[in-house]
Amino acid sequence: MKATIDHIGIAVGDLNASLAFFKDALGLELDAPEDVPAQRVRAHFLQAGEAAIELVEPTADDSPIAKFIARRGAGIHHLALRVDDIVAALAELKTKGVRLIDETPRPGAHNSLVAFIHPASAHGVLVELKQVK
């Protein structure tokens, strides 16, 4: 499996303050926001060279991002790695004993398929695998 960094996801509680920093202070270009209903979030991608920063805001109080912010506060939520074949990548990780949150991919932002690796298998880091359709 070959992977490259796609983006770093940051859970935000105050989108306007986050945009003031990343867009206005740092000058990163903002893509149009995208709702991801399956995860009950709105994603705001800012290009930062070859990779992006994803500001993730909850759209429901019971979304995983809302729960993350309630427990830990705003901050880095996940590291997303782009793979060519997410199904093959998940199968390979499973054979290696890697604990997965998602054993099958689900819809993600930017017309992609995503699946998450449990932080317990990734040294405390929530890792998202992403395949662009």
CATH number at residue 95: 3.10.180.10
**Regions of the chain short of the pLDDT cut 70:** none
Give the distance, in angstroms, between the CA of residue 9 and the centroid of all CA atoms in the same chain: 5
Q: Rounded CA gap, 61 and 121, in Å?
A: 28
Cβ neighbours of residue 51 closer than 8 Å, sequence gap 6 or more: 5, 6, 7, 8
Predicted pLDDT of residue 133: 87
Would you give the DSSP letter of residue 99? Answer: -
Phi, then psi, of 22 in degrees rounded to 5: -70, -40
Domain count along the chain: 1
Predicted pLDDT of residue 64: 94
pTM over 0.85: yes
CB 24 within 8 A of CB 16: no
Predicted pLDDT of residue 90: 98
CB 92 within 8 A of CB 1: yes
Instruction: Provide the domain limits for residue 14.
Output: 4-132
